[in-house]
């Protein structure tokens, strides 16, 4: 006997409407336990995980990154783990001979990746996807200095509660998050949050970008706690520069 959609709606079908597993950055649902919270998070115990300490760097002929960004940041959401800007279609990164479209960018404080052991107070992740669903993340390190124009615009409507979404009155550009010098490190890794999916192309910009201390503090005040996953073993992976 088939159960109708209406019946599921009225009586509640736990399989169809199960909530995603809860995870945190500390405690019993913290990073050390992510892989054991649910089989869906099994890759969190994988051998090609992110973030990492970028060290033992290998010189390589890395192709210049080609950014084709439009003004497309349309809304800001507090998902309980970070503050994320959702981006309209049309902005791309050319990588490995194919376009990767910018879908969103978000932040971690302190930085998740370390550069030869150095931590930064804030790190931005610009997340891109190609037509195959493969991901490329451009990581930008931020250091205290002058206020960043994109964050000045975004932080005017900083959502303070998990689940809160604010639409921007005017779209914002991710271009001002990028450093003037586009030299970068490259390695193969994963998402830094569950389900920790591997096969992600990581591109970490060498030059940090300035943000004001007030902008850093505003983000930290909304998060209420550090939202960085500890660095993971390289397990023989090469970090190219």
What residues are annotated to the active site?
A: 81
CA 229 to CA 143: how far, in whole Å?
19
Are residues 188 and 107 in contact, defined by beta-carbon separation less than 8 angstroms?
A: no
φ/ψ of 202, rounded to 5, equals: -105, 130
Residue 240's contacts (CB-CB under 8 Å, 6 or more residues apart) are: 57, 58, 59, 60, 62, 185, 186, 187
Residue 18's contacts (CB-CB under 8 Å, 6 or more residues apart) are: none
φ/ψ of 177, rounded to 5, equals: -85, -15
Which of 200, 175, 197 lies closest to 187, judged by CA? 200
Torsion of CA 152, 156, 157, 158, to 10 degrees: 60
Cα distances (Å, whole numbers) of residue 100 to 112, 135, 241: 23, 8, 21
């Amino acid at each position: 006997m088939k159960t109708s959609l209406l019946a599921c709606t009225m009586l509640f079908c736990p399989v169809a409407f199960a909530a995603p597993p809860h995870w945190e950055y500390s405690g019993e649902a913290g990073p050390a336990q992510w892989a054991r919270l649910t089989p869906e998070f099994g890759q969190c115990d994988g051998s090609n995980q992110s973030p990492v300490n970028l060290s033992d760097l290998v010189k390589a002929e890395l192709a210049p990154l080609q950014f084709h960004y439009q003004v497309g940041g349309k809304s800001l959401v507090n998902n309980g783990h970070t503050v994320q800007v959702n981006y309209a279609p049309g902005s791309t990164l050319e990588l490995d001979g194919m376009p990767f479209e910018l879908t969103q960018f978000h932040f971690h404080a302190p930085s998740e990746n370390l550069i030869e052991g150095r931590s930064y107070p804030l790190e931005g992740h610009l997340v891109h996807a190609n037509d195959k669903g493969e991901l490329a993340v451009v990581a930008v390190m931020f250091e205290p200095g002058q206020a960043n124009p994109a964050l000045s615009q975004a932080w005017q409507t900083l959502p303070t509660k998990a689940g809160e979404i604010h639409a921007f009155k005017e779209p914002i550009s991710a271009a001002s998050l990028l450093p003037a010098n586009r030299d970068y490190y490259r390695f193969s890794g994963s998402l830094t949050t569950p389900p920790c999916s591997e096969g992600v192309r990581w591109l970490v910009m060498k030059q940090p970008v300035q943000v004001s201390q007030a902008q850093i503090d505003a983000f930290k005040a909304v998060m209420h706690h550090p939202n960085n996953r500890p660095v993971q073993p390289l397990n023989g992976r090469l970090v190219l520069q």
